[in-house]
Amino acid sequence: MSELVWNAAYDSGVEEIDLQHRYFLALINRLSSELASCADANYRQRLLNELAKYAIFHFVSEENMMIKFAYPDADRHRMLHIELIDQLSSRMQAKTYAPLFVFLVDWFIQHTTTEDRLIGEFVRNHAATRELASDS
């Protein structure tokens, strides 16, 4: 599978989220390369576990940000995270990895360019409103 390259369209405008997204993308690329060339079943499983645990870490971090800024669509967004973890878990059981990476890349692009951008806009607007209020 070809490497996924960072695109400005993936930016949410929130540094913490964007740093985590960049790492997530790098992790997807690394796993794609290493799983394709590795014969050690234990190592492959550990790589998949790393991906799943990082996804959970990132989602908790994003959900905490949504709580902090009282993001109005947080419950729906959290459900999207739960669905992804469920889908990821079931796809990790497959004997081949290509469909897993197609799923991850499609999900990453769609989720970051739509859902996470909405969070970014909300957080930036919230911060701007706060800054204006403190200037008064």
pLDDT tens-digit readout, 35-70: 888 889 899 999 999 999 999 999 999 999 999 999
Q: Is the pLDDT of residue 135 over 80?
A: no
pTM above 0.95, yes or no: no
Q: Which pLDDT score is estimated for 69? A: 93
* Class of residue 124 by CB neighbours under 10 A (exposed 0-12, middle 13-18, buried 19+): middle
Helix axes 41-68, 116-135, angle to 10 degrees: 40
Q: How much is the pLDDT for 97?
A: 85
Contact 99, 91 (CB under 8 A): yes
Look at residue 114 and tell me whether its pLDDT is greater than 60: yes
State pLDDT tens for residues 15-42: 999 999 999 999 999 999 998 888 898 9
Tell me the domain boundaries of the chain: 14-135
CATH of 14-135, one of 3.90.1280.10, 3.40.50.880, 1.10.3720.10, 1.20.120.50: 1.20.120.50
Separation between Cα atoms, residue 79 and residue 26, nearest integer Å: 25
Tokens of 27: 């992790």
Q: In this predicted structure, what is the pLDDT of residue 35?
A: 87
Say what the pLDDT of residue 131 is.
Answer: 55
Average pLDDT over residues 114-131: 85
Q: Mean pLDDT lowest for which of 71-75, 106-110, 116-120, 127-131?
A: 127-131
